[in-house]
Amino acid sequence: MTDFAEKNINQSNQNNENFKFIIDEFANCKVMKYQVPNWDTLSLNQKKYIYCLSQAALWGRDIYFNQNYKNNITIRKALENILSSFDGDKDNDEWREFEIYAKRFFFSNGIHHHYGEKKFFPKCSREYFASLLKGENAEFILDEIYNPNIAPIRRDNNTQNDIVKSSAVNFYQDVSRKEVEEYYNNIDNDFLHPVSLGLNSKLVKENGEIKEHVAKINGMYSKYIEKIVYWLKESIKFAENEKQKAYTNKLIEFYITGDLKIWDEYNILWSQDSESVCDYINGFIETYNDPLGMKGTWEAVVDFKDIEATKRTQILCSNAQWFEDHSPIKPQYRKKQVTGVSAKVINVAMLSGDCYPTSPIGINLPNADWIRKDYGSKSVTLANISDAYFQASLENPKSALKEFSFSEQEIERAIKYGQLSDNLHTDMHECLGHGSGQLLESTGANALKEYSSTLEEARADLFALYYLMDEKMIELNLIDSLEVGKAQYDAYVRNGLLVQLARIPLGENITEAHMQNRKLICEYALQNSDCIEKIIKDNKTYFVVKDYDKLRSVFGELLYQIQEIKSTGDYEKGKYLVETYGVKIDSEIHKEVISRYAELNIKPYGGFINPDLQEVKNADGEVIDINISYPQSFIAQQLKYGTEYSFDNE
């Protein structure tokens, strides 16, 4: 699972460093830099290890573009061409609009909005765009970009449609939902140790026959995977220990064979390594982009441990069994033995694929339930990314916090405790929430289908929310007052019912899993209890928590229900909860939030550029150091990646 930042904190403009975090803003996006603290505490070998893994990360970037939509890379090459060679007049609105489109395209890794799923369009005229394009495929490119009927949505979640056919995402070709479900239902899968069917493949109908194209060497994406494997092999030379070598070798074997059993073996080995300082994720991981929740998008993160901050998460982990035993769910759904929950705080050195430029702030892997149950999982909080969000918010003088908070008390509480409560929420969501609970033996791994992601995120959030107001947190010295928990409750309700709606175009539903989950939880509490009050003052709507203890028990009660849904695989009940509380938006409130948010001039979507890692060589050509530097231009980084980590003939 991957989780994104929801930062509402905004203090006054008092960033005291020269390091400016926001480097670019366009449409509703901002691009930030992230710092890599403690880089120089790493040994040369560790730096080389990270360098090789970063190369392996960047070589998979094109896979993700292609997964999002089959023609994304062709379109991107046309944009790159214009951006790097156009030498005409740039001081006019048409060019500026073209550039904004290109940036949005890079930001979303394709023609569809990265969160909203819908295709977006340039605001420069088609004629102008045509004048920039060279080459014989110009008309094709223009149609792809301007025609609203071509690939209108990346992942359709309107189940009235055949969501496999109506989604533009490149996981299926000429097959229907029914055919896909039949295809996978007919594959024998071990019931106790099921592989993640379809995770690394595309299902295609060729001459009336359904075929599965598997990503591997000599298979789908072979040329990229060869590069990834090359750099993974290089990295092994600098591994810190035998464990790292063993799982990297397994991952290489997986990339060579495409065998999902080997993928599981790799995940088991990887999840058992909590000692190494350096670590990475590289593969087909999250299934959020697949309308059926099976196919994994390619992603990579390269990171190393923040040793000081990891102490906080270790307290949570070492008490994981206590949290499990006291969780407000039916006893039979509790894990009798919470195995190997490991959590750490990391600093990221490279992001790629589905994690770039929009990075998660928390990750918990592996995703396979049976591995999580038998071997545990690894949960990370991305400290330097969280920090960049926070610092960037200080660079903006106005704040969503002030606009959407009802009282001074709420604002003060957020300023005082907001960052700690956000960090704890992320830690608990990842290392306790996702790791908690168990399925009944009779429940299949993908029983909740298109609702599984939203319900899983809700489960993890509820677990964190429930315990953030628990005296145990004080006893464990993680907080010194329940005000921290209250700050999170305020922020969660404010965000779930108001602030997050600013990201969604008027008239549209909520489609993204994390956003649905927040809406579901808050709306459920609003409608089924009286602990949240809706107040209208000066024509502005506020949602105010009236009774924190009661809200806590509502969270507990909803967790009880959702755990039952997950454990028993109750698709209908899960569907009911998501559709009733998580999808639709009251249009009056939606309109109001969008206009209040627009006044603040804050960009709701944040993304990052990576630092540059550069080998430093001595006179003999030996690498004596890896330097880190922070580039300043989003487009320049995109063009560099397009030149260095791609192939000419697409």
Q: How many CB atoms lie within 10 A of CB 644?
A: 10
Of 124 and 363, the one with the shorter C-beta distance to Zn ion is: 363
Confirm or reject binding of residue 570 to Zn ion (CB under 5 A): no
Write down the least CB distance from residue 1 to Zn ion, Å.
4
Count of residues making up the chain: 650
Instruction: Write down the number of H helices and E strands in the chain.
Output: 25, 16
DSSP 387-433: HHHHHHHHT-SS-HHHHH-SSHHHHHHHHHHHHHHHHHHHHIIIIII
Closest CB to Zn ion among 411 and 455? 455
Residue 498 binds to Zn ion (criterion: CB under 5 A)? no
Helix (H, G, I), strand (E, B) or coil at 84: helix
Is the Cβ of residue 1 or residue 635 nearer to Zn ion in the bound state?
1
Kindly state the tokens that stand for 345. Answer: 């705080």
Q: Does 1 bind Zn ion (CB under 5 A)?
A: yes
Q: Which amino acid is it at 161? A: N
Closer by beta carbon to Zn ion, 72 or else 381:
381
Q: How far is the CB of 380 from Zn ion (least distance, A)?
A: 12
Helix (H, G, I), strand (E, B) or coil at 547: coil
Based on the shown chain and the rule CB under 5 A, indicate whether residue 286 belongs to the binding site for Zn ion: no
Comparing CB distances to Zn ion, the nearer of 3 and 324 is 3
User: Least CB distance from residue 577 to Zn ion, whole Å?
Assistant: 17
Mask 294-323, x = binds Zn ion (CB under 5 A)?
Answer: ------------------------------
CB nearer Zn ion, residue 157 or residue 381: 381
Which residue number, 460 or 551, has a Cβ lying nearer to Zn ion? 460
Q: How far is the CB of 461 from Zn ion (least distance, A)?
A: 8
CB of 426 to Zn ion, least distance (A): 9
**104: Cβ contacts below 8 Å, ≥ 6 apart:** 26, 27, 29, 120
Residues 398-457 that bind Zn ion (CB under 5 A): 457
Cβ neighbors of 544 (< 8 A, separation 6 or more) are 406, 407, 410, 532, 533, 535
Separation CA 514–CA 454 (nearest Å)? 6
279 or 427: CB nearest Zn ion: 427
Which residue is closest to Zn ion by CB? 1
**Stretch of 459-467, 471-479, 549-557, 587-595 lying at the interface with Zn ion (CB under 5 A):** 459-467
Is residue 562 at the binding interface for Zn ion, with CB under 5 A as the rule?
no
Question: Where is 222: in which H helix or E strand?
Answer: helix 222-236
Phi, psi of 554 (to 5 degrees): -65, -40
CB 184 within 8 A of CB 294: yes
Task: Decide: 551 and 321 in contact? Cβ < 8 Å.
Answer: no
Nearer to Zn ion, 460 or 635 (CB): 460
**Is there a contact between 241 and 260 (Cβ–Cβ < 8 Å)?**
no
Minimum gap (Å) between residue 544 Cβ and Zn ion: 27
Closest CA to 318 of 310, 306, 329, 330: 310
* Under rule CB under 5 A, residue 102 binds Zn ion: no
Residue 465 as a binder of Zn ion (CB under 5 A): the answer is no
Residue 460 interacts with Zn ion (CB under 5 A): yes or no: yes
Nearest distance in Å: CB 81, Zn ion: 39
Site for Zn ion in 3-22 (CB under 5 A): 3
- Chain residues binding Zn ion by CB under 5 A are 1, 3, 457, 460
